[in-house]
Each structure stands twice: as C-alpha cells, then as structure tokens.
C-alpha cells in the first residue's frame, strides 16, 4: 500500500471510513479514483472546510457541466418549443378514424402541410368574397319604402261652423266668435281636429261680397276676437281654416270705390282692379255704375269680379293672404275660383287662365310661408270646390296647386230625386254607385287627394235629405271611414234636421242643439232670431255624449281613431258589392304589398229587412274569428263597443237600418 493510502487518524478520535466514488475525469479517460472521506461533525463548519478535510474539493458548476458526458441511452433533453413525445397506446377496437398517435406522423409531412396551407388560404378568400358580395347586395338593392307622414289636412276632420247659429255669448240671439271659443272644449272632446268658421270676413251677403280682406265681420265680434279665436284653437292643438272670396268684393270695398273713381289722381292705380266696359250685352253678368258697366257674379250685382290679370291687384291680394298666414290661419277655402279669369264677354270661365292664377297663388303662399319668421315654413292648405267638375277638371285643379278638391257628389244624395230614384226605396243604391265611381277615380289618380262633403251651409240637412235619421247615422258612419279629408257640417254629428220652412233663417242653419234647456243651450234670449228645432229635447249634444251608442259617439270614436290608425289615415279602401240594400267598406294598410296592422270594416244595411253580408272578399279573412266591435248604430242591440265576436263564418247579419264597424288583425 502506498504511503498516501495509509489511514490517518480521524478528527477527535473518529475512525476513518473508506468510501468509493466513481467519477469521470475527462472524455478521454475512464479511470477510477478512490477518495477517502472522513466523517466529521459539522458543527459550525462550512461546506468548503468539510470538503477540504474529506479530500473532496468543491468543483465549480460550469466545469461539472462541461465535463458531464451524455449517456447515449438517455433521450436528448426536451426543447421548450417542442411537443412532448406521444406515448403509443394500444388502439381501441371501437375507435372510428385515426388516433392521435396515428395522426402525429402527418403533422410535419410536407404534402399535408401544403394541403393545409392551401385550404386555409381558400377559406379566407371565400370569406372575403362573401363579405364583399353582402356589401354589394346592400348597396345595389332598392331602398325600402319609407312611410311618409301625411300632411295635417290629409286626415283632418274639419268641423264647418256657421257662427251665427252655433253659440250666442251675449244674449242677443245670434251666435258669435266668443260663443265659439266657449264651445271649443266640446269640439275637442268629440274628436274635431280642424275648425272652419263661416262666415268670417265682413261682407254684404255673408259669402262673396266681401268688404275687407283683413277684417272679421263685426256682427261676430271685434276684429281682435279673430286673433283670440286663432290662438285658442291652436292652444287646443287644432287647426283653423277660413273661406276667402278670392275673385270678388262688395261694391263697398275700398278697392271698388277707388276703381270707380280712378279718374282722380290718387286712385289711378285702382283703375284696372275690376273689369269695366262701356257697353254690356248680358245683364246677368254686368251692372251699371257711374255710366260704366262692371263685371259681377251671375245674378248677384253686389259681388263685383276682380281682375286678376292686373299685377297691382295681384300684389294687394297676395298681401291679404300673407297677413292671415302671419295671424295664424292654417288653410284657405278659395271661393269663386271660376271668376279668376273670364272670356271676353264675361259669361264663361277661362279655365286655362284660371289654372295659371291658381299656380301663382300656390307659389306665393308656399314662398311666403317658408320665408316668414312667424309662419316658419308651416304647410298652408289650399282647397276649393267646383260644381259639376268632371274628373279631368279635378286633376287639372290639383296639378295647378290645389291640395284638395271637394267631392260635391255625395252632397247631392237625396231620397226620391233624380239622383236617388223613388223606386229604389232608399239611398243605398245611389250612394254605393256614386261612392264606387269616386273611389275608383282617386285610386287611379293619387295626386288628387279625396275630400268629402255630405253637408254645408248651402245644403239641406242630411237627415232631412235622406228622409231617415237612422240612414243619416249610417251615412255619418260611412263618411268617417272614407279616406282623405272630411268636412262635417255643425249639427250633423248629432243628426239635426232642417227647421220648418217658415223659419226666419235658412232651414239648414238652425240653432245648435247643445242640451234640453231653453233654446237648446244656444242662447238665453227669449225670442231669438235664430230658432231651435222642436226635437231639441231628445236630439242634443249633452244627451248623446252620455249615451253608450249614439250618432255623436259614432262620430267621436271614429274621428279619434283616424288620428292614430294608419289604416284609417292613409290605408287602402275596398268597397264591397251591393247586397240587397247593404254593403261594406274596408280600410286596411297595404305596405310593400303586404297587409299589416288592423283591418277596419264598416258594414251598413239601408234595407228595411235583415241582410247577411258576405265577408269573403276581405283581406286576410281567415283572421275574422277574432274580431272586435269598434262602434255600432244606436238601434243595434246585437253588437256593442269592445265586444269580441267570431265572424269565422265570413258573413255578418244586420237588422234593418243597422250598421257596425269592427276590426281584426292582419
């Protein structure tokens, strides 16, 4: 044994213990070294000390790593970016398709890498192509049809008031503007949206012989009351329209007096305001004044015709219209348009020239309304009527600038006349025939907005014309479901009749019947010049407003519905065939060739016997099982408001002189 191998005594008498350790010194040698380690007590000794004593010096870690030799049987260390190796597992006999281990060998296969890359690129190319196609489809597709909100006058229920017969406020027995103001709340409650007071301007005949275009008739109240009336009506969110004689004046009008004295220098500009001739052949149209003859309305020498071909006259008339627009008037009925231009002999209207004048009026009204700081661009309505107008005449008037042309035809409906022959038994046949023709005309000419009039200050009361208050109630129901603008003459909403023929006023202008008190609540006068009808105790506004079913309730219910239901405002109208004195009128909203919302049906029986009306032609009639009654005539016991009914049999049976309005969902 070598001297270096001799045992040395261990520390503190410890016996040395020989420990063998194999260590690879270098890659080139595989020698064994025997190191002697002595067991020592650690105590407070450091590692370096213990290592030195035990003959095992501390080797730096980087040298150890450098000298460490990899074992060829050990697997290479795993890189952080490499997936762990998949341990093969026995294949499940129930497995369908390749296992994860089987798919692993294709992961880095160049062929499959290429296929995956191509499919990935194709996916995004197809996605981008579909996205671009969707954008092109949106851009190139036709725009959706936007529902235009109708103008206020297109759905208006215009209440035509004859002021002298409506409400007296001072006890003189004649109605006035203050009385009308006092009754605005009742009108609002009954669904009125537009007030049309007549007469309004000061005149000789309460119509066309106007004395001033800027002053209200003082018999109705002081001129300031006109402004108060306009303000009060607007406060209640209603509109006001007035009638203005657009082509005539009184002989007492300042313009006529100046024109008749045009030889005087201050009046020279008025010389051509009227048509003057030195010799007249037709006394029906010309009257003498100071050795000259002036043109006037046929048979009415008090109403001189203005010369609208004179530019100075036009300027004065435009100023008059502008003044009322600034004062708050929302629309004008243009009276006497047939006198806007006449043939050289004055006996016939010159319609081509009249249409030119109407265009000029329309242009001025629109321009001034848009430029006025008071009107602020509000839509001012212009409408008129032309008796005996043909369809082409209505179209030309609308094209010239009229917002509406009043349909006068139904105002001629009267029992036992040439319009409604006595052999027909009722007005059903003539009403159905006239209505079918007029509705067809409007459906083919949408630029001519429908405007209905069943009564007026110049027509007999509806209940008197048709000879039956139940039939008048049916016609009220019919009028309120028709498309377009509706005129309601005061008192028709409660079924008033004409006065006796010996009355002191025209029979259709009797006092409004408000309640069953003295004079029907119209006036406190003992013997008023405007009398009340003898049936005022039973036929009055207060009583009908309190009843569940009445003419007033029909009017109020349908007037309010017209303000919010698209079907009644601008919907399509379908009139059913006449079946033994009965027929239906249907209103529905047809938007983009699709029926939507509620469908309203008015079923009316003018016959003296029960009638079963078929409902097979109604749109979406498979939904008739769930119908709801909107309103019914006062003599109807089978139906009442808000009643749910089943018309699945596609027919409705009505008793004599009964009517009903019902709805169902499309």
Cα–Cα distance, 74 to 160 (Å, whole number): 110
pLDDT of residue 113: 79
Q: Is the dihedral of CA 398, 400, 406, 407 positive or negative?
A: negative
Cα–Cα distance, 219 to 177 (Å, whole number): 9
- Please write down the long-range contacts of 178-187, taking CB distance under 8 Å and 24 or more positions apart: 178/221, 178/225, 180/229, 181/225, 181/228, 181/229, 181/232, 183/514, 184/232, 184/233, 184/236, 184/238, 185/236, 186/514, 186/541, 187/159, 187/238
Q: Tell me which residues of the chain have a pLDDT lower than 50.
A: 1-40, 65-66
Residue 42 lies in a domain: no
Cα–Cα distance, 391 to 397 (Å, whole number): 10
The dihedrals phi and psi of 572, each to the nearest 5 degrees, come to -70, 150
Residue 348 lies in a domain: no
Tell me the angle at which helices 469-480 and 551-564 cross, rounded to the nearest 10 degrees: 0
Residue 621 lies in a domain: yes
Boundary of a domain, candidates 286, 307, 328: 307
Cα–Cα distance, 661 to 630 (Å, whole number): 5
Identify which of 247, 299, 252, 291 has the alpha carbon closest to the alpha carbon of residue 273: 247
Sorted by sequence, the CB contacts under 8 Å of residue 149 that are 6+ apart come out as: none
Task: Count structural domains, the chain.
Answer: 2
Residue 438 lies in a domain: no
pLDDT of residue 282: 85
Boundary of a domain, candidates 275, 307, 339: 307
Residue 312 lies in a domain: no
pLDDT of residue 37: 44
CA 295 to chain CA centroid, Å, is: 46
The dihedrals phi and psi of 329, each to the nearest 5 degrees, come to -65, 135
pLDDT of residue 170: 94
Range of the domain at 295: 248-307
pLDDT of residue 592: 75
Grouping H, G, I as helix, E, B as strand and the rest as coil, residue 168 is coil
The CATH number assigned to the domain holding 301 equals 3.90.400.10
Residue 74 lies in a domain: no
Cα–Cα distance, 415 to 167 (Å, whole number): 31
Dihedral in degrees, nearest 10, Cα atoms 530, 533, 538, 539: -70
- Site of tokens 């890359």: 117
Residue 628 lies in a domain: yes
Residue 178 lies in a domain: no
The CATH number assigned to the domain holding 611 equals 2.60.40.1180
pLDDT of residue 22: 41
Give bridge partners of residue 331 from the DSSP assignment.
241, 381
pLDDT of residue 36: 44
């Amino acid at each position: 044994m070598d001297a270096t191998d001799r045992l040395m005594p261990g520390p503190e008498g410890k016996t040395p213990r020989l420990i063998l350790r194999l260590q690879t010194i270098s890659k080139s040698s595989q020698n064994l070294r025997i190191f002697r380690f002595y067991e020592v007590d650690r105590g407070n000794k450091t590692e370096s000390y213990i290592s030195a004593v035990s003959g095992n010096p501390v080797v730096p870690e980087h040298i150890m790593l450098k000298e460490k030799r990899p074992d060829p049987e050990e697997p290479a260390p795993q890189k952080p970016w490499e997936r762990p190796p998949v341990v093969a597992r026995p294949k499940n006999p129930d497995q369908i398709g390749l296992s994860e281990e089987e798919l692993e060998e294709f992961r880095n296969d160049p062929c499959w890498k290429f296929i995956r890359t191509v499919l990935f690129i194709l996916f995004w190319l197809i996605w981008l192509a579909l996205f671009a196609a969707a954008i092109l489809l949106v851009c190139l597709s036709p725009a959706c049809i936007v529902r235009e909100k109708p103008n206020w006058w297109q759905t208006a229920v215009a209440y035509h008031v004859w002021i002298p017969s409506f409400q007296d406020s001072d006890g003189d027995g004649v109605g006035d503007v203050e009385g009308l103001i006092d009754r605005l709340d009742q009108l609002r409650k009954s669904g009125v949206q537009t007030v049309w007071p007549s007469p309004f301007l000061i005149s000789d005949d309460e119509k066309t012989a106007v004395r001033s275009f800027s002053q209200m008739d003082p018999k109705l109240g002081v001129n300031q009351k006109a402004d108060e009336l306009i303000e009060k009506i607007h406060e209640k969110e209603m509109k006001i329209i007035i009638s203005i004689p657009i082509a005539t004046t009184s002989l007492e009008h300042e313009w006529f007096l100046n024109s008749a004295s045009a030889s005087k220098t201050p009046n020279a500009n008025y010389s051509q305001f009227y048509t003057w001739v030195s010799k007249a052949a037709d006394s029906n149209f010309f009257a003498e004044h100071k050795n000259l003859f002036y043109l006037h309305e046929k048979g009415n020498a008090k109403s001189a015709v203005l010369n609208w071909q004179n530019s100075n006259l036009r300027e004065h008339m435009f100023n008059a219209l502008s003044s009322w627009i600034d004062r708050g008037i929302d629309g004008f009925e243009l009276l006497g348009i047939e006198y806007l231009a006449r043939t050289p002999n004055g006996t016939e209207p010159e319609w081509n020239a009249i249409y030119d004048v109407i265009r000029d009026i329309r242009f001025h009204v629109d321009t001034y309304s848009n430029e006025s700081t008071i009107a602020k661009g509000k839509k001012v309505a212009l409408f008129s009527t032309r008796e005996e107008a043909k369809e082409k005449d209505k179209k030309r008037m609308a094209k010239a600038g009229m917002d509406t042309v009043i349909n006068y035809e139904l105002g001629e409906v009267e029992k036992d006349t040439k319009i409604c022959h006595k052999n027909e038994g009722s007005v059903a046949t003539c009403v159905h025939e006239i209505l079918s023709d007029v509705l067809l005309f409007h459906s083919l000419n949408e630029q001519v907005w429908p405007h209905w009039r069943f009564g007026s200050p110049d027509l007999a009361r509806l209940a008197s014309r048709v000879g039956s208050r139940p039939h008048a109630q049916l016609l009220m129901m019919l009028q309120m479901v028709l498309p377009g603008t509706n005129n309601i003459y005061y008192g028709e909403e409660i079924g008033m009749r004409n006065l006796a023929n010996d009355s002191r006023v025209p029979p259709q202008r009797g006092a409004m019947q408000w309640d069953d008190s003295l004079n029907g609540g119209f006036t406190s006068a003992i013997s008023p010049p405007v009398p009340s009808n003898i049936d005022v105790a039973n036929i009055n506004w207060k009583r009908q407003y309190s009843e569940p079913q009445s003419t007033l309730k029909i009017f109020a219910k349908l007037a309010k519905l017209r303000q919010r239901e698209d079907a009644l405002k601008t919907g399509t109208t379908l009139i059913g065939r006449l079946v033994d004195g009965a027929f239906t009128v249907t209103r529905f909203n047809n938007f983009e060739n699709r029926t939507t919302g509620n469908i309203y049906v008015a079923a009316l029986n003018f016959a003296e016997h029960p009638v079963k009306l078929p409902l097979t032609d109604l749109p979406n009639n498979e939904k008739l099982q769930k119908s709801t009654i909107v309103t019914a005539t006062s003599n109807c016991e089978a139906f009442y408001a808000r009643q749910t009914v089943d018309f699945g049999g596609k027919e409705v049976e009505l008793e004599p002189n009964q009517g009903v309005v019902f709805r169902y969902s499309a």
